[in-house]
Amino acid sequence: MVDIDGERLLTSLRTLRGFGATGSGVVRPTFSDADMAARRWLRHQMAAAGLDATIDGVGNVFGRSRNHGPALVIGSHSDTQPEGGWLDGAFGVMCAIEVARSFAEDATTAGLAIDTVAWSDEEGTYADFLGSRSFVGALSAADIRRANTAGETVAEALERVGLRDAARVGFESGRHLGYLEAHIEQGPRLEEGGRRIGVVTSIVGMRAMQIMFTGQQNHAGTTPMVRRRDAGVALFEYCVRLRARLEALAGPTTVWTIGNARLEPGAESIVPGSAWCSLQFRDPDDHVLDAIEAAVAHLAAEMTAEGPVEVSASLRRDRVPPAEMSVELRRHLIAAAEARVPGAWVEMPSAAAHDAMVLTGTLPCAMVFIPSIDGISHDFAEDSDDDDIVTGCQVLADAAASVLRG
Ligand SMILES: [Zn+2]
């Protein structure tokens, strides 16, 4: 087994943190000056690891090994949320580079092919998973016209940062054996369970629905209670009844969120004539998602039949199915975890979305998690223990060597 250089990994991560550093966090949205400066630095780091490094036509930083395949693609994303932590994505990118450079330095692994990547726009500043979708050929012309909140499109941003004419890196079927990614958990389960490593079984599926309430708008003083068709009352009652039904259907990791709601016209002296709320739910099992979707529609029909307000439910966008990680690649991660931290690893679904979700339709994928302190992420307070950072990278390196040696 090749030992990675933990101090070098931590030093590199702290340097990457400097691009867009804001307090204890990082503000490095895709195609910002800080993001592009970080990408140029990452390209340099990949080149220094002996890889043929480029920034491609959508901003992916790709380091292609000069060794013959089969190759593993290893990486994560280097962009952040509008207010991001220093490890979300950055951890996995620096792990990939550390694996590549430690393999190159050791005679027993110097012939193995590791292609490293820092994906572009995983966080969806312009278009969700821009870089990984480009890699698997799933990017449409409409995606290139997608804009950030300032109204700049992907095409305009690529022009501005000088990448308009750069070639795009893509999946090579004869070469790329699979994809590995290390990431922080971004939740509390590993820490609460006293585990050092999580091996991801699947990335949860997600559905988003809108529930509409149609009543009768009227005067809040002159309309007797018995005559009212108050859409607001129906909305609150629906949400309370839904909670009881979803608790009965939920699996151990089901989550649901009513993240937005509105009463129309939204005035103190008007009985709301209509109302709506959003409902998002996630689970690793499509059957659970089906059951929840059916329950949401059933409750709407039930309340419409009871009256006096009509309730209807519909999907807000396409269903995102759960993405299964490769059983074969997971086996290598589990063996590596058991060797490095015996008994202190666990298999778990990822409750957050990742590039592997996009890639898994094209090549086998697996992910390894390390604990997030207090389960906090997408926040300046996001952090992990140095020991966990180094252990996560080491498990990744051991698994990569084991996969490539067959
Ligand atoms: Zn991330």
Q: What is the DSSP letter of 226?
A: G
Domain boundary among 315, 339, 365: 315
For 379, left (φ over 0), alpha (ψ -120 to 50), or beta?
beta
**pLDDT score, position 272:** 98
Question: What are the tens digits of pLDDT across the range 212-231?
Answer: 999 999 999 999 999 999 99
Q: Indicate the number of domains in the chain.
A: 2
In a domain? residue 170 = yes
Going from the Cα of 151 to the center of ligand 1, the distance in angstroms, rounded, reads 24
In three state form, how does the secondary structure of 100-133 look? Answer: HHHHHHCCCCCCCEEEEEEECCCCCCCCCCHHHH
Query: In CATH, what number is assigned to the domain containing residue 375?
Result: 3.40.630.10
Going from the Cα of 355 to the center of ligand 1, the distance in angstroms, rounded, reads 8
Q: Which of 242-261 are b and which e, b meaning 16 or more Cβ less than 10 Å from the residue's Cβ?
A: beeebeeebeebbebeeeeb
**pLDDT score, position 281:** 97
Check if the beta carbon of residue 253 is closer than 8 Å to that of residue 349: yes
Residue type, 339: A
In a domain? residue 386 = yes
Domain boundary among 288, 315, 342: 315
- HSE of 29 in the Cβ direction (CA atoms, 13 Å)? 13
Query: In CATH, what number is assigned to the domain containing residue 302?
Result: 3.30.70.360
Going from the Cα of 222 to the center of ligand 1, the distance in angstroms, rounded, reads 54
Average model confidence (pLDDT) across the chain:
96
Going from the Cα of 185 to the center of ligand 1, the distance in angstroms, rounded, reads 9
Residues 196 and 215 in one domain: no
Q: What distance lies between CA 288 and its chain's CA centroid?
A: 21
Going from the Cα of 117 to the center of ligand 1, the distance in angstroms, rounded, reads 13
Residues 289 and 400 in one domain: no
Residues 153 and 273 in one domain: no
Residues 53 and 119 in one domain: yes
Check if the beta carbon of residue 75 is closer than 8 Å to that of residue 393: no
**pLDDT score, position 233:** 98
Residues 182 and 215 in one domain: no
Residues 23 and 122 in one domain: yes
* 80, two tokens: 């952040």
Going from the Cα of 26 to the center of ligand 1, the distance in angstroms, rounded, reads 13
Residues 246 and 173 in one domain: no
Q: Which residues contact 404 (CB under 8 A, 6 or more apart)?
A: 70, 71, 72, 112, 113, 114, 177
Residues 224 and 362 in one domain: no
Going from the Cα of 77 to the center of ligand 1, the distance in angstroms, rounded, reads 6
Question: Strands 323-324 and 71-77, how do they pair?
Answer: unpaired
Question: What are the tens digits of pLDDT across the range 336-376?
Answer: 999 999 999 999 999 999 999 999 999 999 999 999 999 99
- Nearest-10 crossing angle of helices 386-404, 90-105: 60
Please report where in the chains the tokens 């009652």 appear, as a residue. Answer: 237
Residues 138 and 282 in one domain: no
Give the integer Cα–Cα distance in Å for 385 and 31: 29
Going from the Cα of 72 to the center of ligand 1, the distance in angstroms, rounded, reads 20
Residues 254 and 183 in one domain: no
Residues spanned by the domain of 135: 6-204+322-404
Going from the Cα of 289 to the center of ligand 1, the distance in angstroms, rounded, reads 23
| pLDDT classification of 318: cutoffs 50, 70, 90 | confident
Question: What are the tens digits of pLDDT across the range 7-63?
Answer: 999 999 999 999 999 999 999 999 999 999 999 999 999 999 999 999 999 999 999
Going from the Cα of 300 to the center of ligand 1, the distance in angstroms, rounded, reads 36
Going from the Cα of 292 to the center of ligand 1, the distance in angstroms, rounded, reads 27
Domain boundary among 266, 293, 315: 315
In a domain? residue 128 = yes
In a domain? residue 1 = no
Neighbours of ion ligand 1 (CB under 5 A): 88-89
Give the integer Cα–Cα distance in Å for 367 and 137: 22
Question: What are the tens digits of pLDDT across the range 173-216?
Answer: 999 999 999 999 999 999 999 999 999 999 999 999 999 999 99
Residues 211 and 66 in one domain: no
Going from the Cα of 365 to the center of ligand 1, the distance in angstroms, rounded, reads 15
Going from the Cα of 59 to the center of ligand 1, the distance in angstroms, rounded, reads 16
Residues 81 and 145 in one domain: yes
